[in-house]
Amino acid sequence: MTQEKKDKRCTILQAALEIFAENGFHGSPTSMIAEKAEVGTGTLYRYFESKDDLIRELHKEMDIRARSVILTDYATTLPIAERFFKLFSNLIHYTTANPREFRFLEQFYNSPYGIAVRQARLQDPENLEADPFVALFGEAKKDGLIINLPTEVLMALTAGPVFFLTRSILAGFIHLDEELTHSTIQALWNAIKR
C-alpha cells in the first residue's frame, strides 16, 4: 500500500520532470502531467498540494539525486586537486547525461521558486557545510592551494562555466569528448589554483 503510494508519487514526479523539461513550467498543464503519468487529474492533488508544491517537491528529489551522482567515487581522503577533478568530472557528466534534470533545475533556480530556496539555504549554515563544493573550497583555501577569494566567487569561477557550457551542449552548439572535458576542468582549476 505505502509502496504503491510511493510508486504513484514517483510516476507523477517522473512525468512532471519530462513535461517541464520539454515545455517549461507554464507550458505544462497539470492535465498533461497527469496524462503522461497515466493517472487522473485529481489524483495529482492527492500527492501534491498544488502545482507549485509539485515543482518544489520535484526539485527536492532532483537535488538529492544530483548530489548523490556528483559524489560518485568521491572520497574526501583523496588529494584536493584529484577531488576537484573528480567532482567536476562528475558534475559535467551529470548535467550532460541528464539533460532533463539539468533543464528542470536551471528553470527552477531561475524562477521565483529557486530564489526562495537559495535564500533559505544561505540562512542555514549546516546545509552549507554539507555542500561538497563548499567543503572542498574551504579546505583548499586553508591549505593555501587555491586563491583566497570568497566561496561564492570560487563557485562562480568553477560551476559557472559548467552550467554555461552545458547549455551550449544541449542547444547543440558544441560537443564535449573526454579530452575536451579534461582540458576544460584543467582550465577551471587554473582559474582558482594559487
Note the residues at the interface with DNA (CB under 7 A). Answer: 4-5, 8, 26-31, 38-47, 50-52
Specify the residue, 132 or 161, whose C-beta has the smaller distance to a second copy: 161
Residue 106 sits in the site that holds a second copy (CB under 8 A) = yes
- CA pair distance 74, 142, nearest whole angstrom: 20
- CA pair distance 188, 114, nearest whole angstrom: 25
- Judge contact between 141 and 148, C-beta under 8 A: yes
End-to-end CA distance of the chain: give it in Å, rounded.
Answer: 56
Residue 17 sits in the site that holds a second copy (CB under 8 A) = no
* Among the listed residues 3, 174, 177, 178, the single contact to a second copy using CB under 8 A: 174
Residue 28 sits in the site that holds a second copy (CB under 8 A) = no
Residue 1 sits in the site that holds a second copy (CB under 8 A) = no
Quick one: which segment of 69-77, 81-89, 112-120, 137-145 binds a second copy (CB under 8 A)?
112-120
Specify the residue, 90 or 107, whose C-beta has the smaller distance to DNA: 107
- CA pair distance 100, 166, nearest whole angstrom: 12
Specify the residue, 9 or 86, whose C-beta has the smaller distance to DNA: 9
Residue 188 sits in the site that holds a second copy (CB under 8 A) = yes
Specify the residue, 11 or 155, whose C-beta has the smaller distance to a second copy: 155
Residue 150: name the closest of 161, 160, 138, 163 by CA: 138
The burial of 191, by beta-carbon neighbours within 10 Å (0-12 exposed, 13-18 middle, 19 or more buried), is given as middle
Residues 6+ apart with CB under 8 A from 30: 41, 44, 51, 54
Give the residues lining the site for a second copy (CB under 8 A): 24-27, 106-107, 110-112, 115, 118-119, 122, 147, 149-150, 152-153, 155-165, 167-168, 171, 173-174, 180, 183-184, 187-188, 190-193
